[in-house]
Amino acid sequence: MIPNVLSIAGTDPTGGAGIQADLKAFSALGAYGMTVIAAVVAQNTQGVWRFVALDPDFVEAQLEAVFDDVRVDAIKIGMVANAGVARAIARTLRERATCPIVLDPVMVAKSGDRLLEEDAVAVLRDELLPLCTIVTPNLPEASDLLGVPEAASIEQMHQTLEAMMKLGSEWVLLKGGHLKGAESTDLLAGHGGRWTFNAPRIGTRNTHGTGCTLSAALAALIPKMPVVDAVGEAKAYLSGAINAAEKLDVGQGQGPVHHFHALWR
């Protein structure tokens, strides 16, 4: 069965992040992609110019339209922009969703531009996160959600992971890409277990949309396999996409990854 996977997120006109990246990842991994737009973003590979959050009622109407017509096998949540939109999403998913939910707590773009209003952090943490199967914060996002200093070592990452697990999601994938070193380490916790995923750090500027792509890959894979296997597969897919990014010529800043690296010849 081909899974139907829904992305709730913001847009990227240059196609490397947000909903556009999610649809590419879904397609590359054999899932049928659907979208609910939470915000329209004017951005490119060099930065974010501005964004406009959609009216919460209209975001809710998009969600209801999907649930009223289509079987939803997994949901990925990315940029929610503000507290009103986050509440509308949480309310609807609480009533309608019966499938795995992946939350990528998008707060700040690679360029450093903020994509989540300050008053929305608490709503994201207290209302959306407890509904989720797995949440995938990087170190700055975890710091923001917890209100603690950002982890600066693997030992501190383990402490952050424990704190994140107390927020209510079934699983937490804490991404360690912001640490220095030849390897990038991610930590996974859930259902009483702990796993470590190490990968060689890839020397490239083309990392636009990596967080969106990883969480979208997880949403595409979770309907087909256990969470631990899905994390391994999603990370392998993302590594391949980053490694092949040099084949693309998109933008003058941090370029996108190559979502179809295994399919295009």
Residue-wise DSSP of 112-163: S-B-S-GGGHHHIIIIIGGG-SEE--BHHHHHHHHTSPPP-SHHHHHHHHHH
Q: Is 150 left (phi over 0), alpha (psi -120 to 50) or beta?
A: beta
Rounded CA separation 83/7 (Å): 18
Q: Is 209 a catalytic residue?
A: yes
Active-site choice (35, 207, 235, 255): 207
Given 210, 213, 235, 255, the catalytic residue:
210
Q: Which element (helix H / strand E) includes 94?
A: helix 83-96
Select from 210, 166, 250 the least CA-distant residue to 78.
Answer: 210
Q: Is 224 marked active-site?
A: no
Catalytic site residue from 24, 76, 110, 175:
175
pLDDT of residue 117: 76
The pLDDT score that the predictor gives to residue 186 is 95
Query: Is 211 annotated in the active site?
Result: yes
Beta-carbon-side half-sphere exposure of residue 215 (alpha carbons within 13 Å): 35
Q: Give the pLDDT of residue 265.
A: 83
User: 16, 78, 190, 212: which is the annotated catalytic residue?
Assistant: 212
- pTM higher than the cut 0.75: yes
pLDDT score of 14: 97
Domain 4-247, classified CATH 3.40.1190.20, yes or no: yes
- Exactly one of 160, 211, 213, 235 is catalytic; name it: 211
| CA 183 distance to own-chain centroid | 21
Q: What is the DSSP letter of 170?
A: S
Selecting among 209, 213, 235, 255, the annotated active-site residue is: 209
Residue/partner pairs of 191-194 with CB below 8 Å, 24 or more apart:
191/227, 193/228, 194/161
The residue ranges of every structural domain in the chain are 4-247
User: Residue 48 is inside which H or E element, if any?
Assistant: strand 47-53
pLDDT at position 247 is: 95
Give average pLDDT by consecutive 10-residue segment, the chain, 265 residues: 97 97 98 98 93 97 98 97 96 97 84 74 94 96 93 94 96 89 89 91 89 97 97 96 95 95 93
Would residue 175 show up in a list of annotated catalytic residues for this protein? yes
Name the nearest CA neighbour of 171 among 155, 182, 159, 187: 187
